[in-house]
Structure formats: structure tokens, C-alpha cells
Chain A
Amino acid sequence: MAPIELFIELTLMPLIAFIVGMMMVLMMRRIAARIQRRIGPPFFQPLYDIVKLHGKRTQVSHGLIHDIGIVMAMGGYIAAETLLPVPGMNGIAEKGGLITLLYLMMIPSLGLALGVGQCANPNGSIGIARALTAMLAYDIPLVIVIFGVAYAAGTTNLVEIIATQQAGGFATWGVVEMPLLAIAGLIAMHASLGKQPFEIYIAPAEIATGPMVEMSGKYLGGLFVMQCFQLYTTSVLYVSLFLGGGTTWFDFLIKSFLVLAIPVSIAYLFPRYRTEDLLRLMWKWPVILGLIGLAFVM
């Protein structure tokens, strides 16, 4: 591939991810509003929020690590997007693969954790401790799912996983071939989004939004950007693993939005679990489903 072409791809992939991510945030808020019989925010609301937050005049920093943490939180996702193939663009997906992508997605969390740590606010620290605990909860079923898919496909190369599904048509989609893994994956994905009922580390009424408690202005803005990327990455990864990726941008986006709509619609019907209940839940049902699904694949 010509270097210039690759460069354009590497620039476009995070940019598109950000824009689609903002639309996903909008969808999430609209769905929440509709479930609560409200109208919801206007179309450009996510953009307004981000621009406003970055346009604050005075902002509070608790030190260099606080700043760097936010940079890492945004930068890690920007990098991760280039490993996630989209229709017509593969970026450097072939140089990393699925496991690398999963680990690269932990970098933003690590950055956030460091940044929050330096804020010297116990609410934030409790939030991070809970977020890491939640990660321990949902990553176990997620890993079973990832293992199953990669083993069935015989590769960790996402481009190939998608190509195999597209070549065989609907009957070879992950969701048809491995329905149990797909369900377990959906639950794990829901938990990884940190939405209700798995919202233990935000918990506004309890620990004052946990990690975000000391974030003002561009710090909070960075986290809003990160949320856009997070929604996009999670849903696109699910689409790539189970729904055959996308042949065109149209069906790709429809699939991504639909996948995201499922956990989001469930989320706003529930209050919050306690930490140990979340662990118990995630280590029981999705793991059982995943292991049975895995047995079918092996």
C-alpha cells in the first residue's frame, strides 16, 4: 500500500470513529429520554458539550499526571481505532490483531486511572478501584468469547475474521454459528460500557461520578471524547466478530447502531448492582453460556 494512502486511512479511521461515536452518544441519550418519556437532547448536543468543555476559561489541574492521564485516555483510543477494520479501510489491523486491539483498549483506562489517582480525591480512587473490579468481572466472559471466535476462525487477524464471514454470507456470521458466544459477548459488552445495571464505578449518588469527580473543562471534555470512542469501538468490535463486519458503510453503521441500541435500551430500565453482585452475575451466567458455546466451537 502506498504510504500516502495508509496515512490517509490512519487519519480518517479515528476521525470517523469520533463522529460516529458522537452520534452514538446522541442515540444513547435519545433512547434514555424516550424510555423516560422525554424528548431528549438536540442533534448536535454531544458536539456542544465537547466544544463547551474545551472552551472553559478556568480549569483545574492536579498535576502533570492528571494532564497526561487525559491525553492517554484520548490517545489510546485514537490508536486503537486504526486496528479496527471498517469497510474499505484496514489501517494497520494486520500488524496487530485481535489480542493487541483488546490490550490497546486498556491503555485509555490505564491513563484515566493514573490521572484520577493524582486528583487525590477518594471518590475518584474508589471509582477506579471499582472500575478495575468491573473489568475483572466482564473480561472473563469476554475472553472466553474472544477465544471462541478466534479459535473458530483459526486466526487473530480481524480482517480475515470479517472476510470469512462475508464470503460465506449470513449463514457463516458469528451470531448464527456461535449464538451462545454471541449472547455471552453481548452481556460482557454491556458491562464493559459501564451502563446501568453495571454502573458501579460512576454511581453519581454514591461516589459523585467516581473517576470524573475532579474533572473540569477540557479534562471532562477529554473523557467525553473518550466515551464517543468507547461506544464506537465496543459496538464495531462486536459487529466485526459476530455480524460479519460491513460490506458498505450503510449496513456497517446500521449494524453498529443496532448492536449498541440493545444494551442501551436495557440500561435505562434498571438501577445499579452492588460490586459483589456484579461480579457474581458476570462470573456466572455469561461464563456458563460462553463455556457451553465454546464447547460447540472446539
Chain B
Amino acid sequence: MVMSRLQKIPVVEEKKGNPLARVFDDLVRFCRSRSLFILHYCTGCGAIELPPAMTSRFDMERLGIQPMVSPRQADILLITGYVSIKTLKRVILTYEQMGSPKYVVGICSCTVNGGMYWQSYATAKKLDEYMPVDLYIAGCMPRPEAVISGLQKLMDRIKNGEADSWQDYYRNYDYYLGNQQKLFGEDWQTPTDIITEAKHYELMGEGTLGQHTRLLEQHQQPLEALEMRLGHKLKEPVE
């Protein structure tokens, strides 16, 4: 399902004729791959493997990977372990607050298929139904070496310009929103306005709007930014 939809993403033709621009793009991509700030959302047991990966034993900073605190600063959302439905709301909120290009790495089998929580009523089984996941590192739990080699794979894909599933969230927002609504109810809304964001950054795709976004619009609290203004704008009379 996901793979078929991924193939539908229109491939942006690289501009030809200006070699300087291409070199510049390559440089930016290279820098992106060599500087990854992680936000780790440690919801389960997998967190235990991250300290050795970061500290003196394996030292991820060699690869330019360092932990960050707030989603605004981060490039990678590292989700280790099972995601309960309550937590998933926060994970989605956090994901939407990150600046693109952003990557999601799911660690441990729980994020792949629910793992040992397969039968739990309170756990979201497949992470990639709710947000595009760039990389799964399976295992229960994967060792730090596995984490690092996974991240290296992600770095290669970023360098080659293949890791662009973050665009999928904008282009197929309706699909992800639908799954989220199924889980959290019809009045589900995050503070980030993905649709206007997609319009603003020209990331609209065929699947951005659909029946689920229409449902969202019916009850959505307005999220326009506070624009600076001198004059008076009267509120429309509330019936």
C-alpha cells in the first residue's frame, strides 16, 4: 500500500543548464546528511540503547549526529518502542512541529508491527500509517551498532536525495489524517495547519485534500497566524 503510493510521488525534474545550482544543491544535500539533529521520543525500552550510541562507546557525534531538545531544532524523530494511542497524539504533534526536511526513524519491532503489544487495544501498531517513516531498525531491541548502521544508511539516502518521504506527509495528508481520525475520533486536530503549510511551500499533491480533510475543515479551530495590523478587523457576528 505505502510503496504503491510512494511511487505516485511526482519526481521533480532537476533543473539543467545551471551547473552551479546543481553543485549548490549537492552541497546542501551533503551538509544535510552530515548534520543530523535527533529528537528522540523514547516511549519504550529501546531508549536504553541510545546512550551508548551517543556517548564514548560509539560516539554518534563522529557522524555529525547530536541530540536536540525541541522539535523545532530537530531533523530526525527517533521513536523507540511501542506507541500507545495517547502517546501517538503527542508524537504526531511533535512530528508536525519539526522543520522539513525531516526524517522519522522507527526503532524496535514495536514500531514496525506492534511487536509484543500486537494484541493490545491501546497501542498503535504500524507507525507508518500515521506518519511517513524513512527507516525502520528492527530488533527487540536493536543494538547500538544496528542503530548507527541504520542511521548511516539514512545518511546515504539523504545524500542521494532519496530520503524525501517527508514530502509524502504533505502530498498525501488526507491518507494520514484519515488513519489518525480513525484512531482519535472525528474531532482530531493538531495545532499545526498542514494544508496551508503545503500551500505555502508549494507541496500540494493529489492526495493532500480529500474526504478526511473536509471533515477536518468542518470543525477546525482557526489557526491563522496573528498578522501585524494597524486597523480594526471586526469579528463576524456569531449567530
CB–CB under 8 A between A and B in the complex? Answer: yes
Known: A47-B31, A48-B31. A212 touches B226 (CB 8 A): no
| Interface check B160, CB cutoff 8 A | no
Task: Tell me the bound Cα distance from A217 to B34 in angstroms.
Answer: 15
| Interface check A42, CB cutoff 8 A | yes
List, in ascending order, chain A residues with CB within 8 A of B31's CB.
47-49, 51-52, 55
Which interface class (under 10, 10 to 19, 20 to 34, 35 or more) fits B?
A: 20 to 34
| Interface check A199, CB cutoff 8 A | no
| Interface check B69, CB cutoff 8 A | yes
Known: A39-B62, A220-B72. A52 touches B32 (CB 8 A): yes
Q: Contact: B99 with A60, CB < 8 Å? A: yes
Task: Tell me the bound Cα distance from A80 to B73 in angstroms.
Answer: 27
Give the Cβ gap from A134 to chain B, nearest Cβ, in Å: 19
Known: A48-B64, A52-B28. A213 touches B56 (CB 8 A): no
Query: What does DSSP make chain A's interface, helix, strand, loop or mixed?
Result: loop
Known: A52-B28, A56-B100. A216 touches B73 (CB 8 A): yes
Nearest neighbor of B228 in chain A, beta-carbon distance: A64
| Interface check A11, CB cutoff 8 A | no
Known: A58-B201, A212-B73. A39 touches B59 (CB 8 A): yes
List, in ascending order, chain B residues with CB within 8 A of A57's CB.
99-101, 201
Task: Tell me the bound Cα distance from A36 to B75 in angstroms.
Answer: 25
Task: Tell me the bound Cα distance from A57 to B27 in angstroms.
Answer: 15
| Interface check B197, CB cutoff 8 A | yes
Q: Contact: A51 with B61, CB < 8 Å? A: no
List, in ascending order, chain A residues with CB within 8 A of B73's CB.
209, 212, 215-216, 220
| Interface check A95, CB cutoff 8 A | no
| Interface check A87, CB cutoff 8 A | no
Q: Contact: B69 with A208, CB < 8 Å? A: yes
| Interface check B35, CB cutoff 8 A | yes
A63's contact among B27, B64, B97, B225, by CB below 8 Å, is which?
B225
| Interface check A172, CB cutoff 8 A | no
Known: A36-B55, A57-B101. A213 touches B28 (CB 8 A): no
Q: Contact: A56 with B99, CB < 8 Å? A: yes
List, in ascending order, chain A residues with CB within 8 A of B61's CB.
29, 33, 38-41
Give the Cβ gap from B9 to chain A, nearest Cβ, in Å: 15
Q: A interface vs B, CB < 8 Å?
A: 29, 33, 36-42, 44-45, 47-49, 51-53, 55-60, 63-64, 204, 208-209, 212-217, 220
